[in-house]
Amino acid sequence: MPKMLVPLAEGFEEIEAITIIDVCRRGGIDVTVAGVTGMMIKGGQGIEVAADCPIDLVDINSYDMITLPGGLGGTLVLSESENVQSILKQMKDQGKYIGAICAAPLALHTADVLNNDFTCYPSIENQIRIDGYRQDQTTVIDGKVMTSQGVGTAIDFALKIVRQLQGESSFEELKESILA
């Protein structure tokens, strides 16, 4: 069973985080929620989520993917966290999958793991770079780096993660079962 790490920091976007966690678990991916700012993390809309473990106890060698939810507040914390930045670099060096949605591609850019083609929440590209920004695509897969635009694209993004980690058959079954 593939394993995915989802780090959460204060100010994360709840719909993106919960959608990614839920859809990927339904798709047979073992998802670990790691707290960056504590074990109970408050999202941008005030919803608190309990982490499975603190980020500093994560053994990245056991994960196939790391996915960062957006929300500008949470993204800024992920961008400034030495631990998260180190994990992103190690995942890239090990050829593992990396995902980010909404503002979170900014944290990938900070870690220098964002590939050429990407998408993100409109206007965040100005803080990353214009070159390679794919405004017309809701989800972009460039090698093993996956990016998506935001709340409205969260289900599509999560389904594409399932496709990458579990294959076409699992993707189609899950897509049909959730009526996406």
pLDDT average, residue stretch 89-98:
98
Q: Which residues are the active-site residues?
A: 102
pLDDT band for 20, please (50, 70, 90 cuts): very high
Single pTM value for the model: 0.96
Per residue in 136-163, pLDDT (tens digit) is 999 999 999 999 999 999 999 999 999 9
Percent of the chain whose predicted confidence (pLDDT) is above 70: 99
pLDDT band for 180, please (50, 70, 90 cuts): low
Q: Which domains does the chain have, with CATH numbers?
A: 3-177 (3.40.50.880)
Q: Which among 58, 38, 20 has a CA at the least distance from the CA of 165?
A: 20
pLDDT on residue 129: 79
Q: How many CB atoms lie within 10 A of CB 102?
A: 30
Q: Measured between alpha carbons, how far is 38 from 88 in angstroms, rounded to an integer?
A: 19
Rounded to the nearest integer, the mean pLDDT of the chain is 96
**Per DSSP, which regions of the chain are E strands?**
3-8, 30-35, 40-42, 48-50, 53-54, 65-68, 97-101, 139-142, 145-148
